[in-house]
Structure 1
Amino acid sequence: MRFDETQAATLETILRWRRDVRHFRCDPVDEAVLTRLAEAMALAPSVGNARPWRVIRVEDAALRAAVRANFQKCDEAAAADYADEQAVAYRALKLAGLDAAPVQLAVFTHIDPAEGHGLGRRTMPDTLRQSTTMAIHTLWLAARAANLGMGMVSILDPAAMERIFAVPEDWAFTAYVCLGHAEWDDDTPLLHRAGWQENAPTRWEVR
């Protein structure tokens, strides 16, 4: 299949306007839309077609509270690593949408799945985690195309997350995702708005 200029431009627009959303409205997301997003994840590439991502939709209030407590503990520790003005700037950042996001997903990687029969990962087992990351990025783009916001919470203790969800020993925590309708339509990246850091171009080094 060949894409025309209009289709290519649409993809570029989705890539350009993908954002890490932290401010959500509380209203629910239509279940049919969530089904389509789950189906989009299934289109992601994976090493040896192992499809190692395992997704838990977190609805239980106690589990959500445990995740938030994990975040708060890690956030305080991270803030202590900064000094003076940068510490103030860090504490002013909104780093998670845990309070309002109606859909929350805990994503794990099965680190030795039978699927794929080991193809492509013998010397690089991290390709399993990379596959899960690509599935998350696929979800991110599909969510943006559905006019939904998505944010990934990275200030978490992975071992604690595995204990919170009592997952099998061969599941490794990969990401916690907040999903829902964005609180506003301003697409200025939050870190840009806060003056934390601007984008740097990707350079391909030639050797």
Structure 2
Amino acid sequence: MTPTFDADFRARFRDLVLWRRDVRRFRRDAIARPRIDAVLEVASHAPSVGLSQPWRFVHVESPERRHAVVKSFSDANEKALAGYAGEKHAIYAGLKL
């Protein structure tokens, strides 16, 4: 069955798209597992070229593992930063977690 996108849905969807933002500061309190599962279920249906679904999700609970993930991200970010010069380097360097 093809969904119907009435005026109310279209208006709410427009608001959602306009509201979206790039999050760089995250809360530290735990998220309930059912909420995580619900988000991952929806995310797994996101379109990808040829249904390749290149994303991988990792649920991190321990502080030690969280630190390892942050370090991995930081290391990769430093490597990416080294690939830029001039103005692009400055812009990328300004994108802090």
Tell whether the structures are fold-level matches, with TM greater than 0.5: yes
Structure 1: unaligned runs, 5 residues or longer: 97-207
Higher relative contact order (Cα pairs below 8 Å, separated by 6+ residues):
1
Distance 1:90 1:6, change over 3 A: same
Q: Tell me, yes or no, if structure 1 residue 10 matches structure 2 residue 12.
A: yes
Distance 1:23 1:54, change over 3 A: closer
1:113-132 counterparts in 2 under 5 A?
none
1:159-206 Cα shifts (integer Å, max 9, x gaps) = xxxxxxxxxxxxxxxxxxxxxxxxxxxxxxxxxxxxxxxxxxxxxxxx
Question: Aligned to 1:56, what secondary structure does the other structure show?
Answer: coil
Question: Aligned to 2:57, what secondary structure does the other structure show?
Answer: strand
RMSD, matched Cα: 3.4
Q: 1:79 aligns with which of 78, 81, 89?
A: 81
| Corresponding position of 1:19 | 21
Distance 1:54 1:93, change over 3 A: closer
| Corresponding position of 2:43 | 41
| Corresponding position of 2:66 | 64
1:59-80 Cα shifts (integer Å, max 9, x gaps) = 2333333322222222223333
Distance apart, 1:10 and its partner CA: 1.1
Distance apart, 1:5 and its partner CA: 0.2
Count of matched residue positions in the alignment of Structure 1 and Structure 2: 95
Superposition TM-score, scaled by structure 2 size: 0.63
Superposition TM-score, scaled by structure 1 size: 0.35
Higher helix proportion: 2
